[in-house]
A and B are shown apart, each in its own frame.
Chain A
Amino acid sequence: MKILNCPLNGPRNISEFVHGGEVRDMPDPNLCSDSEWADYVFYYENSITVIKEWWLHAPSGYWFIAERHTATDEILKTYDPSEIYKDRVEFSQPPKESVA
C-alpha cells in the first residue's frame, strides 16, 4: 500500500485519491487562440522531474497539490492550494450570445 499524506486528512492509502494532472496556468478561454487552448488541454511536458500536480481526496472531496518525482514515484510534499493560489483567478466574460 502506498501512502499519500493528505494536508486535510493526514496519511491515507493512495487508492483513496484521484490524480488530477499537472498544476499549470489555464489560458483565458475567451482570449486565447485555438492552438493555445489545444496546447493547454492535450500537450504535456511529460518529462522525468519533480512535478506539481493536483490530487483529490475522493471521500472528502478535497483538492490539494502534491510534488512528486515522475520516475522514483517519491512524494516530496503535499500542501493546500492556497499556498500557491493567493488570489482568485479571473477570466474575461464570454461574448453574449443572442438567444434565437
Chain B
Amino acid sequence: MPFSLLKYGLNKDYPFEKHADLPAPTELKSSYDVVIIGGGGHGVATAYYLAKYHGITNVAVLEKGYLGGGNTARNTAVIRSNYLTSEGVKFYTESVKLFEGLSNEFDFNIMYSKRGQLTLAHTDAAVRGFRQRAEINKHFGGKTELIDPQQIRELVPTLNMNPGHLPVLAGLWHMDGATARHDAVAWGYAKGATQRGVELHQLTEVTDVIVENGRVTGIKTNRGTVNCGCAIQAVAGHSSLLAAKAGFKMPILSYPLQAMVTQPVKPFLDPLVSSPSLHCYVQQTGRGELVFGGGSDPYPLYNTRSTMDLKESLLAHAIELFPFMANMRLMRQWAGLTDMTSDYSPIMGLSPVENYYLDAGWGTWGFKSTPICGKTMAELVANGGKVPELIKPFAMDRFKTFQQVNEMGATAASH
C-alpha cells in the first residue's frame, strides 16, 4: 500500500465535501425550466447535454429510487449498432461513437471495452438477413461483416459449432461491439450534470403530472409540487403508467427481461456472442463472470421476479453453445422491466401534451443508446420542441400513420 494513502485514513476530515461525486441533497425549488422524470442513464444524460451544449442548467432530475437503480443497473451492458433499418443504424452508430469518448469526457472510467460482437446464423434465412445487415451497417459507418465458420472458430475457439440441431453456418461480426460498466455511465453523466448546476433529486417520486390547456405546467411529487417550463419522461418500464398520469396511452407493453451471471473464471471469451435462433447471448465480464441474457418473458408483467422456467430454457441453449459451462454455478439473477414497442424501436420526441417530451419504448435496447438519446433529447428541448432529424423516425405518431421502424430481426436474442 502506498504510504500517501495513510494520510487520508488518518485525516478525520476525509472524505472532503469537494471529493464527493454528487452534491449533497437540497430542497426542491418551486420552479425549473426543465424537469426530467427518471434518474437513470437516459435522464441524467439528457440533463448533462442540456447543461453542456445548450447552457440550460435550471434543470431537475427526479428519481423515485436512487441514481441508475432501475433498468440502467439491470441491463447486460451491450453496446452495438448492427441494426437492420437505415434509421436504426444511423442512430445507434452515433451512440457507439459517443461511448468511445465518454471516459475521457467525464474524466471517469466507464470501463468501456471494445470486444466485438458475434451473432450466429444457424439457418439460410439468417445468413441472408446478416448479409443485408452487414451492408446497411457498413454504408452508415459501422464496422460489420459476414464471416464464415473458420473465422468464427478463430475468434471463439471454445464455441460448439454444431449446437443441437442447428449447425453454425455463418456469423455477423460487428467490430464496434463493446461493453461498459452501466452504473458508471449513469454516475459519469450525473457527476458532469450536477457540476454544471443541474439538480438531481433522488427518493423523489412523481405522483401526478399537471396538465392545463394541453400543456404541462407542473409536476406533483412526494416532496411537493414544482412548476416547470417543460418536462421529459424517461422512466423505461413504467412509461405507460407515467403517460397515464399525463393523460394519454402509449403503444407499449411492459415485460420482464431476466438475466443471470456465473461465478468468475479465467478469461476465455473475448467477443460478445449471441444466437437469435437459440434465444440467448453470452459475454464474459472484466471480472471473469459470464453474463447470460435472452428474450423477454412470454407475457406482460410489472414484476422483476426471476423464474426457474426461463433459467432452464435459456441456460439449456447457452450450454449448447458452450457445453463445458454445464457445471458452472450461477451467482446472481435479476430482471428488468422492458417497455416493448411492437416494432422494437424506441419512442422519442413529442407527445399529445405540448411541452411534454417522450423518451420511452426502450425495451431491450436502452443502455446502448444512452449517449445519443441524451444528446438528441437535449437538442429537442433546447430548440423548444423542434425534433432533430436523427430521431424523427421514432415519433410516437408512427403507429397512427403505420410507418413503423421494424428492428425485430436485429435483436440479439429475438423475442
Chain A residues near B (Cβ < 8 Å): 1-2, 14-15, 18-19, 34-35, 38-39, 42-48, 70-73
The answer to whether B303 touches A71, judged by C-beta atoms less than 8 angstroms apart, is: yes
The answer to whether A19 touches B250, judged by C-beta atoms less than 8 angstroms apart, is: no
Instruction: Point out the residue from A14, A18, A47 that lies within 8 Å of B241, measured CB to CB.
Output: A47
Q: Which positions 238-280 of chain B face chain A at CB distance < 8 Å? A: 240-241, 244, 249-254
User: Which range contains the number of B residues in contact with the other chain?
Assistant: 20 to 34
Looking at B180-188, B217-225, B293-301, the stretch in contact with chain A turns out to be: B293-301
Task: Say yes or no: is B29 at the interface (Cβ < 8 Å to chain A).
Answer: no
The interface residues of chain A lying within 8 Å CB-to-CB of B400 are 34-35, 38-39
CB contact under 8 A between A19 and B240, given known A1-B309, A43-B251, A44-B251 = no
The answer to whether B399 touches A42, judged by C-beta atoms less than 8 angstroms apart, is: yes
The answer to whether A42 touches B303, judged by C-beta atoms less than 8 angstroms apart, is: no
CA–CA, A1 to B254, complex, Å?
22
- Would you give 17 A-B contacts (Cβ < 8 Å), ordered by A? A1-B308, A1-B309, A2-B309, A19-B298, A19-B300, A38-B399, A38-B400, A39-B249, A43-B250, A44-B251, A45-B240, A45-B249, A46-B254, A48-B241, A70-B301, A71-B302, A73-B305
The interface residues of chain A lying within 8 Å CB-to-CB of B301 are 70-71, 73
Name A35's closest neighbour in chain B (CB-CB).
Answer: B400
The answer to whether B249 touches A44, judged by C-beta atoms less than 8 angstroms apart, is: yes
B370-389 interface mask toward A, CB cutoff 8 Å, 1 = contact, 0 = none?
Answer: 00000000000000000000
The answer to whether B250 touches A46, judged by C-beta atoms less than 8 angstroms apart, is: yes
Task: Say yes or no: is B16 at the interface (Cβ < 8 Å to chain A).
Answer: no
Task: Say yes or no: is B342 at the interface (Cβ < 8 Å to chain A).
Answer: yes
Question: How close is B278's CB to chain A, nearest CB, in angstroms?
Answer: 17
CA–CA, A44 to B301, complex, Å?
13
Listed from nearest, the 7 A-B pairs whose CB atoms lie closest are A46-B240, A19-B299, A42-B251, A42-B399, A71-B302, A43-B249, A38-B400
The answer to whether B309 touches A42, judged by C-beta atoms less than 8 angstroms apart, is: no
Task: Say yes or no: is B151 at the interface (Cβ < 8 Å to chain A).
Answer: no
Name B305's closest neighbour in chain A (CB-CB).
Answer: A73
Name A38's closest neighbour in chain B (CB-CB).
Answer: B400
The answer to whether A46 touches B300, judged by C-beta atoms less than 8 angstroms apart, is: yes
CB contact under 8 A between A42 and B342, given known A70-B301, A71-B303 = yes
Name A53's closest neighbour in chain B (CB-CB).
Answer: B299
Task: Say yes or no: is B307 at the interface (Cβ < 8 Å to chain A).
Answer: yes
The interface residues of chain A lying within 8 Å CB-to-CB of B308 are 1
The interface residues of chain A lying within 8 Å CB-to-CB of B252 are 44, 46
The answer to whether A43 touches B307, judged by C-beta atoms less than 8 angstroms apart, is: no
Name A20's closest neighbour in chain B (CB-CB).
Answer: B299
The answer to whether B402 touches A38, judged by C-beta atoms less than 8 angstroms apart, is: yes
With A15-B309, A71-B301 already in contact, 10 other A-B pairs whose C-beta atoms are closer than 8 Å: A19-B300, A35-B400, A39-B249, A39-B400, A46-B249, A46-B254, A48-B241, A70-B302, A73-B301, A73-B305
Q: Which positions 292-327 of chain B face chain A at CB distance < 8 Å? A: 298-303, 305, 307-309
Instruction: Point out the residue from B254, B302, B309, B399 that lies within 8 Å of A43, measured CB to CB.
Output: B399
The interface residues of chain A lying within 8 Å CB-to-CB of B249 are 39, 43-46
The interface residues of chain A lying within 8 Å CB-to-CB of B307 are 2
Name A72's closest neighbour in chain B (CB-CB).
Answer: B303
CA–CA, A2 to B310, complex, Å?
11
The answer to whether B240 touches A44, judged by C-beta atoms less than 8 angstroms apart, is: yes
The answer to whether B309 touches A46, judged by C-beta atoms less than 8 angstroms apart, is: no
Name B249's closest neighbour in chain A (CB-CB).
Answer: A43
The interface residues of chain B lying within 8 Å CB-to-CB of A44 are 240, 249-253
CA–CA, A72 to B304, complex, Å?
10
CA–CA, A73 to B256, complex, Å?
12
The interface residues of chain B lying within 8 Å CB-to-CB of A18 are 298
